Structure 1
Amino acid sequence: MHISSSLIISTYNWPEALDLCLKSVLDQHQLPDEIIIADDGSGDETRALIQRYQNDSPKPIKHVWHSDEGFRKTIILNTAVKEAKGAYLIQIDGDIIVHPEFVRDHLSVAKQGQFIRGSRAMLDSSTTRHALQVRRTHFGPFSKGVKHRLNALHIPALSSFIRTDPYNPADVKGCNMAYWKSDFVLVNGYNNDLTGWGHEDIELAARFVNNGIRKRHLKWAAVCFHIDHPHNSRANESANKAVYERVLSSGTKQCTNGYNSTLNQPQ
């Protein structure tokens, strides 16, 4: 049975990394039905890059943008989901290179009542510099400069043997996750009150869990590689973490200022 899917890619002002990300996406053995770029206020260079890919892509690429007013990733992701036509949403960041079976792996395990927490391997700084220079997008567990090599193994047949707590949202990463759009709408999406870097993904996952939606840790499948970069400012991390902890302790099922708040915003 075909599951309609949207791949959502968040980005901000790093077109060189987004180029590798999109290049790896178009190398997929099974493409999503559409690709949506959730752009948190990038400039003209990113816009031009996306336009080039839009001209060449066999699947629609939508560029969802808002003005640069600081780190507002939750808002632009909610807006991107609003535009998504797929029933199943796969989410990555624009500094991620995906394995050629990435989308197929995600869709093969899509199941009602669960969301996916994926894994990632890391590229070190020198490998990142070289990959950006030569536009390299193919890596494996034994490639030079790959860290967390176990996460780079692609053995889907063994993935079902990985067991983690399905009701623990603490390790969810938005750079590799997937969920049903209907579940995202149910919990009112990302919490727009979380501004600045930190914990927006686990806070969303906590509300999934509070609604009885189970987490599946997908390992040795849906493999991706994180491009090295300096850390964002973490000035708001403790405040965002406190919101997450309140959601856990209170059993909150929806945020107040989330997906529904984007529905009437002009594009």
Structure 2
Amino acid sequence: MKATLIISTYNWPQALELVLLSTLCQTQFPDEIIVADDGSSHETKLIIEQFKSKFEIPLKHVWHEDDGFRKSVILNKAIAQAKGDYIIQADGDCILHKNYVEDHLHYAQKNTYLFGSRVNIQEDYLDALFEEKQIRFHAFSKGIKKRTRALHIPLLSRFYSASDQFSKKYRGCNTSYFKSDFIAVNGYNEDFKGWGREDSELALRFHNFGLQGRRIRYRGIVFHIYHNEKSKSRLEINNDIELQTIANKTVWCKNGVDKYLSEKN
């Protein structure tokens, strides 16, 4: 089984550098990495170009013009180009635990999507974080909160089983699934514009399609770098889209990934 790591980003090359450094330190590598870039400036492209020679696997950059928050669109474009049978997602502001890819692949199984834990790096630690280019954290590290989420204990992770019910702990910055399941529900719904609900609505359609969600607690950990909240001006509209998905038990979104699948990679 081939795996693709998708890293979404927008105009924060300083954070993306740490994420890519953490990807270099993985105990198990995916077969390729794709940076899904929602319209960043040239500086982000330069960072990616610098890292291409450091990886022994392909590092690709999928970019479109900046036209506001269009994370659903750029993720669809990137995943459409993915060579992997299995997709592992992270955000460009989330440093990966060294076992991140290995943990997701360990629990990958048919009819299931996975999601792990997110540990928050605090605002007052950012200067030290970027100055030291720190990519290793543990439960007792400086600058983090909700420390129990940083515990990497594979034995305990076995006690978390898959569920038919959507979990509010689900985060799109730490998830994985088979590409075939993503295509079966037509990927991300591009009616979502602006921040909010695009990830959870996808997971809800996974459930409507018949998948189970499994939380890989104590494995599959990311460390989220603090940033100011994005505009929530579209949140009410996005909420309504998600509520319709729940009410109608929607599986297939009309405005999804299918339009990119016929394009040559």
State the SS of the aligned residue for 2:193.
coil
- Give the match for residue 136 of structure 1: 134
- Give the match for residue 20 of structure 1: 18
Q: 1:240 aligns with which of 234, 238, 260?
A: 238
Q: 1:201 aligns with which of 196, 199, 202?
A: 199
Q: Give identity over the alignment, percent.
A: 44
- Give the match for residue 43 of structure 2: 45
Q: Displacement, 1:164?
A: 7.2
Distance in 2 of aligned mates of 1:128 and 1:98? 16
Is the Cα contact below 8 Å between 1:169 and 1:202 reproduced in 2? no
State the SS of the aligned residue for 1:242.
helix
Check if 1:157 corresponds to 2:139. no
- Give the match for residue 252 of structure 1: 250
- The superposition leaves residues 201-244 of structure 1 with CA deviations (integer Å, 9 ceiling, x where unpaired) of 01000100001100001110011100010000011111111111
- The superposition leaves residues 150-209 of structure 1 with CA deviations (integer Å, 9 ceiling, x where unpaired) of 110000111021357432154321110000000000000000010000000010001000
Point out the more displaced range, 153-162 or 197-206.
153-162
Is the Cα contact below 8 Å between 2:76 and 2:187 reproduced in 1? yes
Q: Displacement, 1:245?
A: 1.1
**Residue correspondence of structure 1 range 184-199 to structure 2 within 5 A:** 184-199=182-197
The one-letter code matched in structure 2 to 1:142 is F
State the SS of the aligned residue for 1:56.
coil
**Residue correspondence of structure 1 range 145-184 to structure 2 within 5 A:** 145-163=143-161, 165-184=163-182
Is the Cα contact below 8 Å between 2:52 and 2:58 reproduced in 1? yes
Q: Displacement, 1:146?
A: 1.0
TM-score, normalised to structure 1, is: 0.96
State the SS of the aligned residue for 1:111.
coil
Is the Cα contact below 8 Å between 2:115 and 2:220 reproduced in 1? no
- The superposition leaves residues 89-117 of structure 1 with CA deviations (integer Å, 9 ceiling, x where unpaired) of 00000000011111001000000000012
Unpaired segments ≥5 residues, structure 1: none
Is the Cα contact below 8 Å between 1:5 and 1:32 reproduced in 2? yes
Is the Cα contact below 8 Å between 1:25 and 1:100 reproduced in 2? yes
- Give the match for residue 58 of structure 2: 60
Is the Cα contact below 8 Å between 2:18 and 2:134 reproduced in 1? yes
The one-letter code matched in structure 2 to 1:9 is I
Q: Displacement, 1:11?
A: 0.1
Change (3 A) 1:214 1:165: closer
Runs of 4+ with >6 A deviation: none
Aligned length: 265
- Give the match for residue 214 of structure 2: 216
Q: 2:125 aligns with which of 116, 124, 127?
A: 127
Point out the more displaced range, 255-264 or 76-85.
255-264
The one-letter code matched in structure 2 to 1:154 is H
Q: What's the C-alpha RMSD, in Å, of the aligned pairs?
A: 1.4
- Give the match for residue 110 of structure 1: 108
Distance in 1 of aligned mates of 2:89 and 2:101? 10
State the SS of the aligned residue for 1:89.
strand
Q: Displacement, 1:143?
A: 0.6
Distance in 2 of aligned mates of 1:162 and 1:153? 15
Distance in 2 of aligned mates of 1:42 and 1:264? 26
Distance in 1 of aligned mates of 2:27 and 2:210? 33
- Give the match for residue 226 of structure 2: 228
